[in-house]
Structure 1
Amino acid sequence: MTTNSPQTRTTTFAVFSTIAAFTIWGLSPVYFKQVAHVSPTEVLAHRVIWSFLLLALVAYVQKEMPVVHQLLKDRKTLLTLTVTAVIIGLNWLVYIWSITNNHIVDASLGYYLNPIVNVLLGMIFLKEKLSPMQKLALLLASAGVAWQVISLGRLPAVSLILAVSFGFYGLIRKRIAAPAVPGLLLETMIMIPLGLGWLLWLAVQGNSAFVLTDFSTCGWLVLAGVITSAPLLLFTSAAPKLRLTTIGFIQYLAPTLALMLGVLMYGEPFGHNLQISFGFIWAALLVFSSEAVLKAKAK
């Protein structure tokens, strides 16, 4: 196979698409800082509504609406998507709150923890056996969390909520045959009544930030749909063409960019105790990723 073969070009394009997706996710705090003056619940409502409209357009263009209709007829799948909608809604809300309240570092830690949480959930709910290296990674990650509790006197609640909620979201979504775009379209559709209801209530009370005379805020809130959907579309189009180990390494780009933004751009504290905690987590990810590479080479 030559370096200019169609397969090589396809793989290269998939790698760049995946990098672009995780770059957008990693830089998303810059966007949410632009709407920091808007309440997290109102930002979430706009994120749901504009994402739904954009995903509906994408599903129509990609001729995926028949899949959406089929999913709507399956009560079990629809019930499962209702559960995942609640979980991803909570994840989005906590993430928005963390960015607008200067907890970007905590949010980045949550997404560093996510691969380890996935392994733990697999062990508990799917009865997957952990290898010695996975056990070591889990032990190191636990030590990192424990260090925060002991040294800082608090549980890293934001980090744990983000990691655990996204872990459960992935675990449950694995059990249903719902492609990414139709699945997320239905999840946002399920959240639409709450989102519209909340925006209507804010408007009636005179507390809505979505005022037509404030073009800047309105524009940023509408952009929430693109910020949510664009990286998802990039990732889902590229992921099937890449090895899981490749995706596994690229996914660390998002929390790394977020951490750099939090510390270097927004001046969040990253003292000695936090550095030690992150050190444990990074060591866990190094062990976890090394094993993935070794398995891939063995195959």
Structure 2
Amino acid sequence: MTEPWQWSEQTWRDHVGRVRAGRPLRPESWPGGAKVAVALSFDSDHETLALRDGHVLPGKLSQGEYGSRVGVPRVLKLLERFGAPSTFFVPAVSALLHDGEAQSYVDAGHEVALHGWIHEINAQLPPSAERELTFRAADTLERLTGTRPVGIRTPSWDFSETTLPIIRELGLAYDSSLMADDDCYELLADGEPTGVVELPVEWIRDDAPYFTMNRFGSQRPYTPPRGVLSIWRDEFDLALAEGGLFQLTMHPHVIGHRSRIALLTELLEHIASHDGIWFATHAQVADYVSEPAASG
């Protein structure tokens, strides 16, 4: 096996070009003349983070259970207060463990989207297994909610060489796992447009890096909640100034704690104090930026 420094130019160009950012999809304006799109998302991982790694003792499982038992009700109550339709990316095993939870998202006007079967790590799977689990997850969420998912966020944002072909085979409208822009763009596959919209994510706009704790590892919370509020407020303010997309990734078992739901409350109060705000699900954003008139 050759080392990267030994690769031919064609080899490294092929790797870089396999999945790439295509045309930008920031529209001239948002619905109703809004100045910014606010796309909040929540990864309802719950117990699947522990189960995925084979941890079956009560300690880690209880941390995930907190997400469903306490975090989700707090999040739903807050979103209702601000009239903010959002997207819940749900591993199918989470949906099966917590009867009625996925349907409660839909009943409250939110979107349910794909987030793997058991929060598996795609790049560690054979291609056939990744495909089977993704299709199984889509079938499960459709059965539980009555609606076929139109978007995906890969577990841990892990994007294998097989992921985009699976997304296209499923006919999904969008992905939200990659990081090539602040605003939406079209995904390219080996240089060819796919029609798949990317709603880009970033660790900066994710609650987990700031707040997760592992007593047997190096992960420790290092930023106080008000510090995260300052970062996210600045991200929103520039998105507003640029007329772009403000997207957040959160987890009920992380953001749902008292001191952290407080920061999200303050952030939403800051956002709502401005005119021209469009709260939208990821599916709504993807649908809007795909319209020719929206992107010019």
TM-score between both structures, scaled by the size of structure 1:
0.29
Q: Max radius of gyration: which structure?
A: 1
